[in-house]
Structure 1
């Protein structure tokens, strides 16, 4: 005969009720929190998957934030470069006006004053900051004022030549702005390959016009050993001689008004009549910042000396206009590149938006509580607990004396 002690009966009943209470509490926690997994012990495999999914979502959120910041910086840069290019157009129009007409002293002064204002505006635009107060065109430098306009009209660049980068994906970086060294300072002089300029001491009416490389092979051969430095001299009888920096004759020819001089793959358009001893210099490999271009124009317009004839002024403005064209080419090329980067950011942002929605759906399926199932289970567990409690209450009150009665 098996004998069941009262103590054992109490322990069994109490253990059963505690187990049921724990189950009810766990289900209640799932319903109230909305999550099926609150502790790793609830579902070890599921908890591991939740950690992995949350890590991916956190990375996507950070990349999206980086994209938003880069998008804001590049949009600001694009707008700034639009304004910058508009000012360069104004300066170019004034250069054309100066080249094609005869300017009075008053005209020169008015034009110089306007160019001083344009230069100041260009410096201000070059010092544009993003929404966080960081200079757009300082590269990775922390300076807040990368461009400083000095009293002599020169501009000093205090940034560096490294672009700021934004990480928008695993191993995927994109420039979030462009450094001022490449954009505004190190601009090829003249037509981009070489600069042709009339000598300051010329006494004739020779005007130097557009120049270009017409034979790439011949030009490459001429510059294979480094930048070229030629002097084209006129004898006053319609003949010209081109010599290199060592005084060696490179080419000769005859000239009449409106001719172009061509040798070593380049062509230089000329007009007017040179006097004996007049010359034109040709140099390659030189750079000139955009601010210096305007300063050169301003200085030429402000020069009231008798030697600064309209011919001399026209030659100076013509040379600076070529440099303005190079500056505008640089700005336009950068604007095109910025547009491409903005497009890439938009595509990447759309991709993360779709991926985030997918991962959130998977995470919800792993972690979130199935409310209908959980509430139904909670009701069953609560009913079972209440029944267990009621049975225990009745059984623990029974005794032999109650039975005999």
Structure 2
């Protein structure tokens, strides 16, 4: 006959209550946290899914944060470039005022003063920083003032030509900056292909107007052979001839020297280019055609200011200077416009990517809730049942504990 000792019964009762208390604590934890899985032992397989889902959610959150920072930086750049464009519009308007009509010395000084303010404003805009204090237009350089004025008034650029990039997804990087070298410094001169300028020693009233490449194939086949430019020289009565950079006469397709007679308001065309002009050239006046030149926007404004402040500049000379600087402003605004379009595309990419992460976060959080979350009604019901069972066990143990053989004999 098997004997059941009192100590054994006590131990069994204690083990039962400890097990019930442990289950009750686990259920209480589910009710408190709302999670079915709080430690790996609750559900090893489910815990693995929870870790994986939390990792994905954390990665998405990091990408979303990076997208927010990149969006802020690009919006700051876009806003700054809009201000730059506005300043250049004002400079262009002032240049046109200088070209149209005869200006008094006071008028010229007033225009020069306004252009000086615009130049200083452009310097400030070019050195704009983002919300972290980093220069917007320094490329990947850490310099805080990429544009600096030298003792001679010339502006130098101490940044680099690279773009900052932000990782906004697995294998996806978006540029978040544009170097100032391409926006403010390395601006193609003239019409972007060549620059036609009236000679500084001209004595006539010849003004060089709009110019362009009108026959690309002819230009491409002759521009390299020209040595990088041409010189158009005028004789009496508007007769003109052209030489290349080596001083050789420019020949037409038949092997004859190009040339002709210019009349006021006409144009000169050869080797695929056309140059419109006005006024009357004096014998010996010239027009140079240079290719591959560049001019920074600060030099453009400095040239305008210098021409206005120089009391010896004639109306014809002033008109020629301003015409060339207007071309440079147009080229600068073209470069800025191209970057603005690019920024718009990048912002659109960031917006789409952010929307994708928001949608994925909803999906992953729902999946995480399904795996980890506890059913509130079930957990509360289990908690109530476990509390009742534990109380019953405790009462039963108290009764068993107080019993003895003498109680039985009674």
TM over 0.5: yes
Residue of structure 1 equivalent to 2:395: 390
CA distance in 2, matches of 1:343, 1:321: 33
Within a 5 Å distance, the mapping from 1:142-181 to structure 2 comes to 142-181=142-181
Query: Does the 8 Å contact 1:227/1:283 carry over to 2?
Result: no
Query: Does the 8 Å contact 2:226/2:246 carry over to 1?
Result: no
Within a 5 Å distance, the mapping from 1:141-290 to structure 2 comes to 141-223=141-223, 228-251=228-251, 252-254=258-260, 255-290=262-297
Residue of structure 2 equivalent to 1:339: 344
> Secondary structure of 2:145's partner?
coil
Question: How much has 1:227 moved relative to structure 2?
Answer: 6.9
Question: How much has 1:224 moved relative to structure 2?
Answer: 5.1
Question: How much has 1:201 moved relative to structure 2?
Answer: 0.8
Question: How much has 1:151 moved relative to structure 2?
Answer: 4.1
Cα offsets for 1:105-141 (capped at 9, x unmatched) = 2222111111111100111111112222222111111
> Secondary structure of 1:250's partner?
coil
CA distance in 2, matches of 1:121, 1:342: 26
Question: How much has 1:340 moved relative to structure 2?
Answer: 2.1
| Match 1:362 to one of 349, 367, 373 | 367
Within a 5 Å distance, the mapping from 1:71-150 to structure 2 comes to 71-150=71-150
Question: How much has 1:298 moved relative to structure 2?
Answer: 0.9
Query: Does the 8 Å contact 1:191/1:212 carry over to 2?
Result: yes
How many residue pairs get aligned? The number is: 403
| Further displaced range: 47-56 or 220-229 | 220-229
Residue of structure 1 equivalent to 2:13: 13
Gap runs ≥5 in structure 1: none
RMSD: 1.7
CA distance in 1, matches of 2:107, 2:402: 117
CA distance in 2, matches of 1:146, 1:250: 44
CA distance in 2, matches of 1:382, 1:311: 102
Query: Does the 8 Å contact 2:236/2:282 carry over to 1?
Result: yes
Question: How much has 1:226 moved relative to structure 2?
Answer: 9.2
> Secondary structure of 2:236's partner?
coil
Query: Does the 8 Å contact 1:85/1:331 carry over to 2?
Result: yes
TM-score by length of 2: 0.94
**Residues 345 and 234 of structure 1: CA distance in aligned 2, closer, same or farther (over 3 Å):** same
> Secondary structure of 1:249's partner?
coil
TM-score by length of 1: 0.95
> Secondary structure of 2:188's partner?
coil
Query: Does the 8 Å contact 2:223/2:229 carry over to 1?
Result: no
Query: Does the 8 Å contact 1:232/1:240 carry over to 2?
Result: yes
Residue of structure 2 equivalent to 1:302: 309
Question: How much has 1:339 moved relative to structure 2?
Answer: 2.0
CA distance in 1, matches of 2:167, 2:221: 42
Question: How much has 1:149 moved relative to structure 2?
Answer: 2.6
Query: Does the 8 Å contact 1:189/1:326 carry over to 2?
Result: yes
CA distance in 1, matches of 2:406, 2:92: 118
1:381 correspondence with 2:386:
yes
Residue of structure 2 equivalent to 1:321: 326
